[in-house]
Amino acid sequence: MSFVLRVMAFLVLQLGIGLVIHQHSSTEDSNHYLAVMRDKIRRIQRTPGERVIILGGSNTVFGMHSPVIEANLERPVVNLGLHISLGLEFPMRCYLPHARRGDIVVLCPEYHVLSDESQLAGDPVVTNQLIEQWPKAKKYLPAKGDDNWKNFLDHDSVLLMHQWVHRSIKMIRGRDQVDKVYRRSSFNEHGDLVAHYGKPSPDLLPMAGLQVPDDHTLNKAIETLNQFASQCRDRGVVVYFAYPPFARSTYDQSLAAIEKIQHYITKDCAIPTLNHPADNVHDDKCFFDSSYHLQAEAGQDQTTQIADAIARNLLLQHAQKRPEQPNASGTF
């Protein structure tokens, strides 16, 4: 009898723990980092006129200063960048339904996205988290295959359970102070992350140097870029490619891979480039917590360089389209 009572007590205890975790670990969080995608899409829908659109991963939200571009080019800016693990295609898919003739798009993907074929469509765990925070994200993500349930049961469900338990423990203890920078409230109206401005840099998260990508992977990435460029041209949109910022220590370890990526971009990509990989290499102290996340001052310098490069390209395009002026005799 005592054994039955102990089993019942154990089950009641487990039920109580489960209820507490469920109460405190709701995946829906109005201030979640990924929830800011709601605001970014709302801005692109409501911003009038010809715009500058920034596309990429988190390097663009940390390193781009939209007000600088807005002042230099005299047009509104929407920063649609968010997270490297959403993949190369995701920001493009978000932009295209809202494309407008006369827009200028700056595409600035991380090297890791270009050199890893599995990252073209994004990491399933992060895309699932995005859907939790913003269910409408499904229409901007590629259709899932039949094996996704198996992947979920084999791996993702375990990870999500760990996240739920971890989140509930922090909430119960009242110590949800981790990653305060990575919150929806950390962004400005343009979609730039600004909460890290002026904050001391933590140690850089370890990032191994890039492995030299194979030809198939780079060809697939270039195909994706060129397809996007073609869709933009059909809509009267100008697209530029910018190499991302990179910490010097990681850049030095990745030089062979970056040189190969640049070779393919130069040779096969139909998108004009605004910079050179070496232009955006900074000392490690210029970064916040990742080899891609610039601190405020370095981000402002990078943004100014990109804005100036866009302005030069626009002037060149205008000069090429301008008809020749008549000479003194009135003939051409």
DSSP string computed for 236-289:
T-EEEE-PPPEEHHHHHHTHHHHHHHHHHHHHH--SPBS--GGGGEE-GGGBSS
Q: What pairing do the DSSP bridges indicate for beta strands 52-56 and 77-79? A: parallel
Task: Report the Cα–Cα distance between both ends of the chain, in Å, rounded.
Answer: 108
Detail the DSSP E strand segments found in 6-76.
52-56
pTM for this predicted structure: 0.82
**Cα(23)–Cα(44) distance, integer angstroms:** 35
Identify whether 145 is part of a domain: no
Nearest to 184 by CA among 28, 36, 289: 36
Average pLDDT of the residues in 38-55? 97
**Cα(181)–Cα(163) distance, integer angstroms:** 18
Give 160: exposed, middle or buried? Use CB within 10 Å, 0-12, 13-18, 19+.
Answer: middle
Instruction: Tell me the average pLDDT of the chain.
Output: 84
Give 311: exposed, middle or buried? Use CB within 10 Å, 0-12, 13-18, 19+.
Answer: middle
Identify whether 204 is part of a domain: yes
Phi-psi region of 235 (alpha: psi -120 to 50; beta: other; left: phi over 0): alpha
Query: Are residues 92 and 228 in contact, defined by beta-carbon separation less than 8 angstroms?
Result: yes
* Structure confidence by residue, pLDDT tens digits, 213-268: 999 999 999 999 999 999 999 999 999 999 999 999 999 999 999 999 999 999 99
**Cα(65)–Cα(83) distance, integer angstroms:** 17
Q: In terms of pLDDT, which residue wins out, 243 or 173?
A: 243
Sign of CA dihedral 164, 170, 174, 180: negative
Q: In terms of pLDDT, which residue wins out, 197 or 315?
A: 197
Nearest to 123 by CA among 165, 161, 94, 82: 82
Q: Is the pLDDT of residue 185 over 70?
A: yes
Identify whether 225 is part of a domain: yes
Nearest to 190 by CA among 60, 321, 66: 66
Residue 10, pLDDT score: 55
Identify whether 161 is part of a domain: no
Identify whether 21 is part of a domain: no
HSE on the CB side for 7, CA within 13 Å? 4
HSE on the CB side for 224, CA within 13 Å? 23
Q: Is the pLDDT of residue 42 over 60?
A: yes
Identify whether 274 is part of a domain: yes
Identify whether 164 is part of a domain: no
* Structure confidence by residue, pLDDT tens digits, 104-116: 999 999 999 999 9
**Cα(190)–Cα(65) distance, integer angstroms:** 9
Q: Looking at 115-214, list the stretches that DSSP marks H as alpha helix, in order from N- to C-terminal side.
A: 124-133, 148-151, 157-173
* Radius of gyration for the chain, computed over Cα atoms and rounded to the nearest angstrom: 23
Query: Are residues 182 and 32 in contact, defined by beta-carbon separation less than 8 angstroms?
Result: no
User: For the chain, how many structural domains are there in total?
Assistant: 1
Q: In terms of pLDDT, which residue wins out, 18 or 2?
A: 2
The string over 212-244, giving b where at least 16 C-beta atoms fall within 10 Å of a residue's C-beta and e elsewhere, is ebeeebbebbbebbeebbeebeeeebbbbbbbb
Q: What pairing do the DSSP bridges indicate for beta strands 104-108 and 52-56? A: parallel
Q: Is the pLDDT of residue 67 over 90?
A: yes
CATH number at residue 40: 3.40.50
Residue 160, pLDDT score: 53
**pLDDT bucket at 52, cuts 50 / 70 / 90:** very high
- Give me the domain span that covers residue 275: 36-122+182-293
Query: Are residues 239 and 270 in contact, defined by beta-carbon separation less than 8 angstroms?
Result: no
Identify whether 240 is part of a domain: yes
**Cα(292)–Cα(94) distance, integer angstroms:** 22
